[in-house]
Amino acid sequence: MIYLDNSATTRPFDSVVEAAVRSMREQYFNASAAYKPAVDVDREIRACRKCIAVQVGAREDEVIFTAGGTESDNLAILGYAMTLHQSANFVVSSLEHPAVGETVQRVRALGHEVRELPIDARGIVDLAAAEEIIDEHTAFVSCMQVSNETGAIQPVAQLSALAKRKNPNACVHVDGVQGFMRAPMHMGKMGVDLYALSGHKIHGPKGVGALIARKGVRLVPQTTGGGQEKNLRSGTYNSPGILALGQAVCEMSRRAGEVEHMRALKQRLYAQLADLKEVRVNGPLPDEEDSAPHILSLSFDGVRGEVMRNALEGAGIYVSTGSACASHKQKVSSTLRAMGLTGEQADGTIRVSLGLFNTIEEMDETAAQMKKMFALLSRYRRR
């Protein structure tokens, strides 16, 4: 099996699984309790906060543990919108994940205006258009760090600088689910106020993530109860998930060089497909600076992405046709359409996404199988 759908989820590191099991078998105490074994668990949770904070240039006490990226985005967007006592405008990029795109519809229902930032043909936010769309009444700007469909790294720092020039009080939110520990992030230097991440995208467990909220950013909690996480996310701590997430972050940090190795794998795969004139890359090319190391979007002229995906699955190679959260809906990607692709081009797209367990040999086999499948399937080209 060759698994190339790591943007949907990743295989956990062995050490992550061991951390979760150890927590459930030995460190099962409620971290909010007052006796020593529970205090020890709480101390380990604080160490996980610090480990995450270091990776994004934040403080330990700014890390709020959640159930994952979706909850983090919801808490950031709705939590901020509910602090506003008069109508304001929210600006959101047109390439956002449904965790953001659907949530801003609720913001609109609260009486706020929502404006959309366009993207260019490479899938990157159009800063010239942003200059016109963001104004002194803009209270909130949201833009993902890395496109989950094309791997395009977004100009977050420039967008934040623009927003805060127009309105110094504007809050900048970044969905970092596909970017955390695979693209640079320093919240202070880049002007980011809210940053969301998820454990299962970095070889950690599902069902756990974090929202990093810079000091001074006010949020209304979306889950109330016992007051955990500074009253922002009540509920008994998911100790197995949190400690496993912390282990994943530590492991990723130790393997930082391997993250860049993923770029070499991506370039290897693309180089072997470059001679097929019927194949195009959606987004920045693999060797460009604004291309994330782990995601490659490919359109095959005349062959539906779904058909190519199924053919590759028959050869034991697993890719996707886009975001796992939306792929079952069989909709044409709004991101690809916003980039100017025709319906047929968007429909002919597959996404290859890499993880730390992938190898050069897998890239060679995948390229060979893609060429073989394309030669076969293109005989039945749509007219």
Choose among 297, 311, 318: nearest CA to 121.
Answer: 297
In terms of Cα–Cα distance, which of 92, 95, 75 is closest to 83? 75
Give me 161's structure tokens. 């600088």
CA 359: distance to chain centroid? 22
Give me the catalytic one of 48, 51, 143, 325: 325
125: region left, alpha or beta (phi > 0 left; psi from -120 to 50 alpha):
beta
Tell the residue number behind the tokens 């199924």, with chain if given: 310
CA atoms within 13 A on the CB side of 126: 13
Interacting residues of 259 by C-beta distance below 8 A, sequence separation 6+? 181, 182, 252, 293, 294, 356
Which has the closest alpha carbon to 149: 356, 343, 308, 346?
346
Distance between CA atoms of residues 246 and 42, nearest Å: 13
What would the two tokens of residue 29 be? Answer: 């105490």
Rounded distance between C-alpha atoms, residue 299 and residue 196, angstroms: 29
Q: Are 37 and 29 in contact (CB under 8 A)?
A: yes
DSSP assignment of 292-326, as one string? Answer: -TTEEEEEETTS-HHHHHHHHHHTTEE-BSS-TTT
| Contact (CB, 8 A) for 198 and 239 | no
Is 325 an annotated catalytic residue? yes
- Known catalytic residues are 325
